[in-house]
Structure 1
Amino acid sequence: MIEQISLFTVDLIGHISCLLLCTAPFQRSCTKKRLLLAFLGTLVAGYFITAVPVIRELPIKAILLIMLFTVFCHTCYEGKLLTQCLCAAFSYVIMLALDTAAIFLFCNWVGMPREQLFADPQLYMICALFSYIVIFMVSFAIWRFAHSWAKIEEISVSGSLIMLLFPLMSLGTIAFLFQVTAKDYSVSHWAILNALGLVVTNAVLMGLLHHIEQEAEERKQNTALQHQLETQLEKTQVLLEAQTAQRKQSHDFKHHLSVLSGLLQKGNLSAARQYLAEIFETGQMDALAVHSNNPVVDAILNQKYAQACTVGIQVDFAINDLAKFPLSNRETVVVLSNLLDNAIEACETHKGTRLIRVKIQCSEEKTILSVINTIDKAPVMENGLPVTTKADPLTHGYGLQNIVSILAKHGACPVIHCQDGWFHFSVVMFTKAVSPALGRGQTTQILP
């Protein structure tokens, strides 16, 4: 009876230690009650795995326990399943390497071969308690230290598979150490240091998971910021060119008025009419397709209109007074430029009717923004956004992400979908005067 209680206590300490290790890098995602129930269920299942003779030997036991700890992590903590499985493997190897080092130390302390020590129930139980107390102390220390880490969410599949090689090699090394030291009266200090080295190395690699994920996220953000900066510089140059063109038109407009004034003063009405007709034919009096009372919106829409016309794309506008457009100038440039660039790019490859419809309507309560365009093939959607088909996805695909991020700051969530050969982007931005319960997150859908 005492032996059974002691074995249960040892298993309990071991499973708690391993659960502390493998959950340390993750953020809890469930209630305390659910965590407690899952924890108790994991302990019962773990005890069953270690108690049944058929499955309690390596490597079956290791595989089953790693799977069990992974399920516990995935049930109660945030993060990807593959990342959690990798952390569970590292945790199990750390625990096994600590157990190996503690057993070697105990064998040296009592001066007895391991086979002989394991044959004595009392000595075996003392050795096991010593070993698992060491395991718990080290695991608890790592767990407390890991609370200062930013929590892991995911790493790449290739990165996970590469890092998984080391715990597998560590398991093989531990099995080899156990085999060659089975009958030694005194285990070599090098074997003990080897086992402790495996503990340290696996713990360090487990900690590196956080740094790998953090650096990957930082690289992704830096790429997005660089792309946004390049877009900003490009659009700023476009705005300057549009402003220069408008000034030239204003300058020419004064000359036209001077000529018309002279003709009218002379009473030459027929010549004045003919001159006006010539101006309209050359397009000098209607150089701008959009007049919204918002110079930034006008500059972008007119520049994109001219760009679309040069490649044979028809653009229809439904615009009202946008003097109170809710986005800042910087946000307006990012949102409208990216939306129209995407629409023009999609229409350029379209074999049928090339058409873009832009609707921007401002009122006291809300602003409706919609851009729809013809498209050959519906894009693949992931997390509500189209997946870029360009050769270098790291430098593309951030336009819509930036748009969604900007709109989220204004409490708006766009509708993005493809239907009947049309790609739709539409959103409603409510003014601050509207109750958030009524306005936030609501969207509109505008069909062709």
Structure 2
Amino acid sequence: MIVTSGVHLFNIDPISNPLLGTFDIFGICAFQAITGASIEAISSSTAVAIITKVFAIAAVLLFSFAVKKGQRSCQLEKKEWILLILFVGLILFVMVNLVRIDLIEKSFSQMDVLNELALFVLLCLVFYIIQSLSYRHALEQDKTLLQQQVEEEERGVQALTETHQAIRSLSHDFRDHLVCVQEYLKHNDVHAAVQYLDSISLKADHEILPLHTNNIAIDAILNEKYLVGVKSGISFQYAVGDLSQMPLEDIDVVTILANALNNAIEVCGKLHGEKKIFIQMGSMGGQFIISVKNPVEQLVKIHNNQIATTKKDKFRHGVGLTNVQMVVDKYHGDLFLSCNENRFEFLASFADYSIKNIPVITF
């Protein structure tokens, strides 16, 4: 009954049930080795039966946590795993020694059994608290992701609004510009006319967003990051096509591009040499890919598809790529991070999606 209620309480996978018997046997053998008691004495002792069942449940709980380690609802760092195992080990050590003393003295009181049960309840509470905290951590990640997506959308809308105002301003003054150029030409001052047209073109280049993919969300994020990058002397090269029909939802594309471009812009902003970011979105080798490449001056350390960071706020830095991985997993895609001595590449690939033309545009 204890085993059944314990398994149900912690929602252990069906694979865990046959393991209880195995761990139970190991528990009896371990108890015999520690106490030196005979199998008959151990088998006839209610207290020993309880302690071996507790050992079996604790072992199965740890095994279940290990199996679920990769899931978002149960993510523990290496240090946390060590602390958890040490805590469980100490609880079991105390319980075994209590029963060992009782076996030596050949007396088992009701209080001894209650002490054992109290330690078992404490052990169960620890697992429950860890599971609850892990779940709340997953919710916090979701909240951070949504907040980041909203912020990126707001910046994109702001960039489009400013560009729309710039276009209206240029359109309003267009007739006046033509009159001015016409006057230069009437006086055969071709040089002045060319200079005037160059100044208008330069103003348009700075104020009008250069990229149009027929997808408002992608235009917003790419052009917003373009405006951020050019302020730091960064140039961009795009290989994109008509993205009016995307295999991903707009908010998910924004999450991927925002994080990839934020990292690329941050790195390029610190470079002393060439500052150029290459962005590619389209069909390649039967896959739809989103690729962002940027130069680096030193090798970037990558471990388990995560970038080692020196930032003080490591949680927020890690959340960015975690959010990207969540989006990639949502569409059953793949995420690859690679780096050599000169270039870092972020690559997300998804199921085949055809884009007719992929022109290369450089700014």
1:288 is aligned, of 209, 214, 235, to: 209
Q: Structure 1: any 5+ residue segments left out of the alignment? A: 1-16, 62-117, 119-123, 434-448
Matched, 1:27 2:13: yes
> Secondary structure of the equivalent of 1:398?
helix
Cα deviation, 1:140-170, whole Å, max 9, x if unaligned, reads: 9x97xx99xx953455222332343222223
**1:125-144 to 2 correspondence within 5 Å?**
130-131=44-45, 135=49, 139=53
Task: Say how many residue pairs are matched.
Answer: 331
Between the two structures, name the one with larger relative contact order (CA 8 Å, sep ≥ 6): 2
* TM-score, normalised via structure 1 length: 0.60
Return the index of the structure with the highest Cα Rg. Answer: 1
Gaps of 5+ in 2: 70-75, 355-363
Residues in 2 aligned to 1:128 and 1:337: alpha-carbon distance in whole angstroms: 62
Letter in 2 for 1:313: I
SS in 2 for 1:58: helix
Which residue identity lines up with residue 242 of structure 1 in the other structure?
A
C-alpha distance in structure 2 between counterparts of 1:128 and 1:329, whole Å: 64
Q: 1:59 to 1:18 in 2, by over 3 A?
A: farther
Amino acid at match of 2:289: I
- What residue number does 1:415 align with? 336
Correspondence 1:246 to 2:167: no
Match of 2:302 in 1: 380
**Alignment match of 1:202 (pick from 94, 111, 119):** 119
Residue 34 of structure 2 corresponds to residue 58 of structure 1:
yes
Kept in 2, the 8 Å contact 1:223–1:395? The answer is no
* CA distance in 1: counterparts of 2:83 and 2:43, whole angstroms: 39
Give the Cα–Cα distance (whole angstroms) in 1 for the partners of residues 351 and 161 of structure 2.
Answer: 34
* Residue 263 (structure 2) pairs with residue 304 (structure 1): no
1: CA distance between counterparts of 2:27 and 2:206? Answer: 82
How far is the alpha carbon of 1:40 from its aligned partner?
A: 7.9
- Aligned AA (1:220): H
**Whole-Å Cα distance in 2 between the matches of residues 311 and 392 of structure 1?**
23
From 251, 258, 266, the counterpart of 1:345: 266
CA contact (8 A) 1:320 1:362 kept: no
- Return the alpha-carbon distance in structure 1 between the equivalents of residues 251 and 208 of structure 2: 25
| Alignment partner, residue 106 of structure 1 | none
Letter in 2 for 1:219: R
Distance 1:426 1:204, change over 3 A: same
Do the aligned partners of residues 130 and 402 (structure 1) sit closer, same or farther apart at CA in structure 2, a change above 3 Å counting? same
Q: Give 1:233's aligned amino acid.
A: V
CA-based RMSD of the aligned residues comes to 4.4
Q: How does 1:429-440 map to 2 (within 5 A)?
A: 429-431=350-352
User: Is residue 164 from structure 1 mapped to residue 89 from structure 2 by the alignment?
Assistant: yes
Counterparts of 1:427 and 1:292 in 2: how far apart (Å)?
Answer: 19
Mark the CA change 1:59 to 1:192 in structure 2 (over 3 Å): closer, same or farther: closer
Matches within 5 A, 1:31-46: none
Say whether the 8 Å CA contact 1:321–1:362 is kept in structure 2: no
CA 1:22 to 1:351, structure 2 compared with 1: closer, same or farther past 3 Å? farther
| Matching residue of 1:95 | none
In structure 1, distance between residues paired with 2:43 and 2:287: 69
Indicate if the aligned counterparts of 2:95 and 2:116 stay in contact, CA closer than 8 A: no
Instruction: State the alpha-carbon separation in 2 of the partners of residues 265 and 20 from structure 1.
Output: 91
Residue identity opposite 2:316 in structure 1: T
CA distance in 1, matches of 2:346, 2:352: 20
Deviation at 1:339, TM superposition (A): 0.7
Q: Secondary structure at the match of 1:326?
A: coil
Pairwise CA distance, 1:395: 3.1
Which residue is 1:68 aligned to?
none
Show the 5 A alignment for 1:141-160.
151-152=64-65, 153=68, 156=80, 157-160=82-85
SS at match of 1:396: helix
Question: Cα 1:129–1:399, aligned 2, differ >3 Å: closer, same or farther?
Answer: closer
Task: Rate the CA distance shift 1:217–1:285 in 2: closer, same or farther, 3 A.
Answer: closer
The 5 Å alignment of 1:99-118 reads: none
Measured in 2, the distance between the counterparts of 1:175 and 1:131 equals: 11
Partner residue in 1 for 2:174: 257
Residue deviations 1:18-48 (CA, integer Å, cap 9, x gap) = 9999988653559x9xx79x978996x888x
Distance 2:35 2:44 in 1: 24
How far residue 322 of structure 1 moved from its aligned partner, in angstroms, is 1.8
What TM-score results when the alignment is normalised by the length of structure 2?
0.72
Check the 8 A contact 1:242/1:303 in 2, yes or no. yes
> Partners of 1:225 and 1:194 in 2: how far apart?
46
Asked if the contact 1:324/1:362 (under 8 Å) is kept, the reply is: no
Q: Give the distance between the partners of 2:119 and 2:85, measured in 1 at CA.
A: 14
Structure-2 change in CA distance of 1:57 and 1:249 (3 Å)? closer
Given that 1:260 and 1:272 are in contact with CA atoms closer than 8 Å, whether structure 2 keeps it comes out as no
Q: Which whole-Å CA distance do the structure 1 matches of 2:321 and 2:339 have between them?
A: 15
SS in 2 for 1:395: helix
Select between 258-267 and 162-171 the one with higher mean Cα deviation. Answer: 258-267
State, as a whole percentage, how many aligned pairs show the same letter.
22
- The one-letter code of the counterpart of 1:404 is Q
Q: Is the aligned partner of 1:335 residue 2:256?
A: yes
- Offset, 1:370: 0.7
1:361 matched to which residue of 2?
282
Greater alpha carbon shift after TM alignment, 18-27 vs 353-362: 18-27
Contact 1:279–1:285 (Cα < 8 Å) also in 2: no
